[in-house]
Structure 1
């Protein structure tokens, strides 16, 4: 399938949507924020009736396009201005709180010289991420179209009357619906089954300004989806915007003011994104809206990695949302494997996602360490209220601690596992530090197996870490010891894990602080990548993933560690 990366995403904790730069709707994630994506194509366009019925997609190069979120808001506005004609469109997208729905307002303005213009919108949905066996119906009297498969239905309504043509297509073949839409031919094609698509067209616009509001609504049946779309389309768009703004305002108020004014917008966007990527129904976080469902350029990102979600949970606590963190750790209790570890990644429902890090010697040991470590940190953050959480999480901590200890060899080095980047196996400096940090929480917070987790035992593991991986002559850390016992000196940004989050280097100790400084200086020097007038950081030397560019996470990680120093 064709691969296009979205330029924006917005959500409401129940549903998530992704958008292209010219107003394409690329995903409408329902009934959960990670599944199903449901949309393969949803593209706006116009017909210029006074210019030989000229047809223009909004992604045509004849448009100048600007897209942005409103300040301190998750209301997305896409503005299009034609390069030659006095014709413009403003598309506003938002997801109202408490609804499985997307609102889209389209405002068109034009000069009389442009002549009549018809706004049209094409849809090729894959309900439940399945192209086959779909069914689509158009109900002209209700001004609704609904497509469904099994227990997932998505209905489309609008404030202005539209005509709809339903059709079908062959895999990789031409869409007759697109051709009919471009020609303004709708006819009596009011239903279709199989691999289906549909297009809607509104009355041609003669006035200098025109607008409509579209509503996509999800439901467990065609009737419930249509009822939701009909109800929501009868509301005022301004009221929906106000409801969205109130939700975001409450989130930002709870988070407090950004301490660095020039970063306030980035801070607000991070808070909003954290909430949008949190599933209110399931109680956990996803890494990102899925943008590569075919795994063409990656392994996909629309999943919950427990390790990453643990960072999100602690961040949620920091910004005044402790309940989100509590629910995440409850989710961890339900998803823990019988061996005490966790799968590499999950659907928010708790079902395992597509994985490759679960077999013997390929377990993602640092992830188990991350959850136990985060649970201990959360307990400490709760202060006097932490005892109840400590007791409730105790059985999970016991199983995780035993799983980690079982992965420590007699020589004090963790046994072969896969690294945090999920692409090489061995014993790693980062993962060894994670073992130490997790066992510290097992001892100091949960009081588990002190003979094997206490200060003396951790000191042995730390000595093994430094003696095995630190190379004084290079002032660099080894990345790993291979399964064959060979040192791998590849420079890897994950060495920053010794500073954060694992904190196995004591920054108040002169010698440890020197190690930390050397670590950061080496990474900044060897992994620097100049981008857009600034410096960013590669994950590791020889990076080739996604074209070999630097990583935002790694760059922020370096900044955080430097701030700690």
Structure 2
């Protein structure tokens, strides 16, 4: 089930499923220590006429966000039970506290009593072993704890000066045939068991009396802290400020934050502009305050592989940081730069992936090859792209004068590694591709190595390190020549996806399959987008990877096996991926010659908006027949790619418009060129 409506503050991340059950709680790192492991934390409503959980079949639910915020706006209606709900959830931007404002409207004409139930099914530190849940009489809260993680669940009705729970229960779950206290709520009477240890859960009750046709408000909140004393301090802060004020200020904070983006969205269709801002906010929920940019936090993927996407891949992080830098969020991406500096290995390369605390993440890349010889278990593009992102980070922010330490501690050793990690052919040595499947020399990788070396040369030039500046640039050009000589097929008139070393022949063998990642050959400036060789490559790629169903979009590569839905590869070469489809749109923008060409690319932006959930959340890939989300959802990389391509669309649209106006008014060529240069610099 896809995750929806993520909310957070960089320390706390909350995810819901498509029926608005709370499914994931991450704290104190985004993407690390999943304290629910995807268990369903339920919200229910008891009425004299019956009971319903939020995912009851009779519940008509519309789950969205407040516009331009990380505060949810969920409307639900149950005709048979006669009530309507407005639920607004947010994580306070300053304190580590989840807030829920519930407005319940009585649809019947006579007064009624409603009981609201908030249930927590925690597995603290990712395990149910040794948890404790108890009712704290001083806080009037349910408290859950294990070691250095404390959680408080509290409720309050409008007009009350403090917490006002009308009932509570703690109990066992998934042991000895017990399912949990949520079942105890369905008769409107919680048992009141004050403490439970082991595999536990807990439910809190809030009673509201509502006149006929009227509405009443209630509040629930969850506090997060490292120990009991800090939890009590947090609870005091919430009660002093009030949950209402905290949610209001959080809504205002995110509106202010998202409007700091420097791009003019007025020329976009409203649905595209809304998705652009929503993408920025969703990306922010994946950004840990200590610098890790986590790929995705959908724990449903655990059922597929017993591992998750809750890691910082340096590649994903670099490209996401680059998109944020282009928006003007340089202060945020400073933390990403610091994270990478601390994570660089002694060899000068980045590892496969990292936990949000900076430790090495899980990996399936071996340290030895089939002969038992040592090899680096890396995807080399991840090292190169971090250098690339760092250069643009300091350049766009205008802070190159502050980059000396980064240059010395990261750029030099990383660039030196890229130079050492080459064969006699001039190409990089084999490493794993960006899809983490094949070991070889890949078009995408060599393009990023070229870009990384040029970025390193720019750093060296700025810091007056003239020898390295020349060395890095000359090596980059040597890589480019090697690509032209060895990774271009003259018969097919296009570039190769990869070269694979064959030890039996002591030579490289060509991989002729088409792969969407080959877009990197132009996107990282290895070749111009209108180079005939690139045009042929992109044309062939589009024909081979287009999904020929009503859903449309582009697959990763021919016969993509990952979450494969159909083996009719002539019609469905693979599932449509958001990023792959947008990469093709980016190339169309790069080669556009007039406003009509630009709008052709815009059709793919509209395609992307149609593949998003109503909330704006975008998955990694979508079902080629139904268009439903597949794999993890949301994927931060999907949102960052959308942000970048929208920026390119805005720039190219303005450029083409200016071209037409200039032609009509016959402005001097110098003025035309100056206008183009200004437009280009604003987006790059």
TM-score above 0.5, yes or no: yes
Mean Cα deviation higher: 140-149 or 335-344? 140-149
Alignment of 1:198-217 (within 5 A): 198-203=202-207, 205=209, 207-208=211-212, 209-217=215-223
* 2-structure distance, mates of 1:197, 1:286: 28
- 1:239 aligns to what? 245
1:165 aligns with 2:169: yes
Change (3 A) 1:451 1:482: same
**Counterpart of 1:276?**
285
1:503 is aligned, of 517, 525, 529, to 525
Aligned equivalent of 1:265: 274
Q: Give the deviation of 1:7 after TM superposition.
A: 1.7
Match of 2:63 in 1: 67
Q: Secondary structure at the match of 2:357?
A: coil
Q: CA deviation at 1:83?
A: 4.6
Contact 1:213 1:233 in 2 (8 A): no
Determine if the alignment matches structure 1 residue 252 to structure 2 residue 258: yes
Contact map agreement 2:84 2:106 (CA 8 A) in 1: yes
Shift of 1:326: 2.6
2:456 corresponding residue in structure 1: 442
Per the alignment, residue 363 of structure 2 pairs with 355
| Residue in structure 2 matching 1:367, options 382, 387, 407 | 382
C-alpha separation in 2, matches of 1:315 and 1:45: 40
Segment of structure 1 superposing worse, 205-214 or 151-160: 205-214
The answer as to 2:574 corresponding to 1:525 is: no
User: Which of the numbers 530, 544, 549 marks the counterpart of 2:561?
Assistant: 544
Q: 1:331 aligns with which of 334, 339, 363?
A: 339
1:29-44 map, 5 Å: 29-39=26-36, 40-44=39-43
Number of matched pairs: 550
Determine if contact 2:144/2:150 at 8 Å carries over to the other structure. yes
1:482-529 CA deviation, whole Å, 9 max, x = no partner? 2323322221001000111x210034xxxx622222222222221112
Aligned to 1:389: 403
Tell me: CA distance 1:387–1:131, structure 2 relative to 1, closer, same or farther (3 Å): same
Shift of 1:417: 0.8
> Helix, strand or coil for the counterpart of 1:14?
coil
Which residues of 2 match residues 18-29 of structure 1 at below 5 A?
A: 18-29=15-26
Partners of 1:445 and 1:94 in 2: how far apart? 41
Match of 1:12 in 2: 9
Instruction: Determine whether 1:225 maps to 2:221.
Output: no
Structure with larger RCO (C-alpha < 8 A, sep 6+): 2
Following superposition, the deviation at residue 366 of structure 1 comes to 0.8
| 8 Å Cα contact 1:22/1:78 also seen in 2 | no
- State the alpha-carbon separation in 2 of the partners of residues 174 and 267 from structure 1: 45
Q: CA deviation at 1:109?
A: 1.4
Question: Offset of 1:171 from its aligned partner?
Answer: 4.6
Partners of 1:189 and 1:339 lie apart in 2 by 56
2:121 matches 1:124: yes
Structure 1 position 358, deviation (Å): 6.5
**Which 5+ residue runs of structure 2 have no aligned equivalent?**
158-163, 368-374, 503-507, 565-573, 592-684
TM-score (ref. length: structure 1): 0.90
Gaps of 5+ in 1: none
Q: Is 1:561 aligned to 2:579, yes or no?
A: no
Report the Cα distance in structure 2 between the residues aligned to 1:59 and 1:310, rounded to whole angstroms: 38
Moved more, 546-555 or 440-449: 440-449
Displacement of 1:149 in angstroms is 0.6
Aligned partners of 1:327 and 1:555: how far apart in 2? 30
Cα displacement (A) at 1:288: 2.5
Structure 1 residues 240 and 451: alpha-carbon distance in aligned structure 2, compared to 1, 3 A threshold: closer
5 Å-filtered alignment, 1:462-481, equals: 462-481=480-499
Q: 1:28 to 1:338 in 2, by over 3 A?
A: same
8 Å contact from structure 2 (residues 552, 576) kept in 1: no
Distance 2:156 2:180 in 1: 27
Alignment partner of 1:378 is 2:382: no
Query: Which has the higher mean CA deviation after the structures are superposed, 171-180 or 407-416?
Result: 171-180
Which residue of structure 1 lines up, in the alignment, with residue 514 of structure 2? 491
CA distance in 1, matches of 2:54, 2:120: 14
Query: Are 2:180 and 2:200, in contact at CA under 8 Å, matched by a contact in 1?
Result: no
Kept in 2: contact 1:292–1:298 (CA 8 A) = no
* SS of equivalent to 1:367: helix
